[in-house]
Amino acid sequence: MSTGPKVKLGVLLPTRGLLLADPNPRDADRVLDLAQMVEQAGLDSVWVGDSLTAKPRLEPLSTLAAVAARTQRVRLGTAVLLAALRHPVLLAQTFATIDLISRGRLIVAAGIGGAFNEAQVQEWQAAGVDPKGRAARLEELVEIVKDLGSGQAVDHTGKHFNLAQVKMQPQPVQTAGVPILLACHWRAGRKAQFQRAARLANGLISISDTPDEYRQLVQHVRGLVGELGRDPRSFEATMYLTVNMDSNTSKAASDANEFLTGYYGADIWGDRWGPFGDPERVKQRIEEYVEAGAQTVIVRFASFDPQRQLDIFLDRVAPAWV
């Protein structure tokens, strides 16, 4: 058992990996069974990613509803939801419904998403959304979803959405509403990201920052939270880590590269992924992020065999904190 700071451990469910392994699966048992195993092992949470057409996978929110019905305790999260692909009124209803089914376990991590290649641009266009306005659209959307979750009638006049006396039921089970984390990356250096999270979110999530970058990110955004008169101590810091564990480091790196290339179509972040190899390296990296301020660490297995990876993780890594 680790003697350092505590951390909540989560696992990303293979909603994309399912389709990479078989483009036409006949069931989603691999995903649902893994979620139950994570809960039975005593971990904190399960998470699902998002993409419509650029990186095909199971739709994240309906997947979490199914997971909610198969579990009792684990938090249910998105990492990350491309919320701006959707309409806020529909999202507010879906969030509240999942929160009700799960008895208050939903947490939503969201980001503006990318428009860096043709497939990503086409994804936004397929949803009828101009990718150039996705950041402003996300900000409006978060404000509306939070307001609708309060149970009050909402009026909103904005660039992307207009509502007149819209009231939503059901309301979230969580009395403060469904927590929303917003994606931030210190290495990107975008002040708008930091300010958006500090102003609108209940926390942040980062995917590719190093431990040192992550420390600076958490300190900076929490500082902004305090400047806005909010409590920095209640602002949750989450890190999303991509790993592959094998005693043969070369094999782990090769397997991870094959998976990530299939996942994204290219090796987009290079050595910012990982570590790949001995589970002790994964445990050490988690410790580094925890020391840097992470309260929740989500682990994605860069592998076509997530069951084996979960078994190794539960045997060699998770016991340090669970």
pLDDT tens profile 47-77:
999 999 999 999 999 999 999 999 999 999 9
Calculate mean pLDDT across residues 222-226.
Answer: 98
Cα distance between residue 293 and residue 186, in whole Å: 14
Calculate mean pLDDT across residues 126-148.
Answer: 96
CA 167, distance to chain mean position in Å, is 28
Calculate mean pLDDT across residues 149-154.
Answer: 94
> Quick one: pLDDT at residue 4?
60
For residue 291, the one-letter residue type is: E
Cis amide leading into 279 (omega within 30): no
> Quick one: pLDDT at residue 70?
97
For residue 170, the one-letter residue type is: P
φ, ψ of residue 101 to 5 degrees: the values are -60, -40
Calculate mean pLDDT across residues 20-35.
Answer: 96
Cα distance between residue 139 and residue 160, in whole Å: 10
Q: What is the CATH code for 8-320?
A: 3.20.20.30
1 pLDDT more than 60: no
pTM above 0.85, yes or no: yes
> Quick one: pLDDT at residue 265?
80
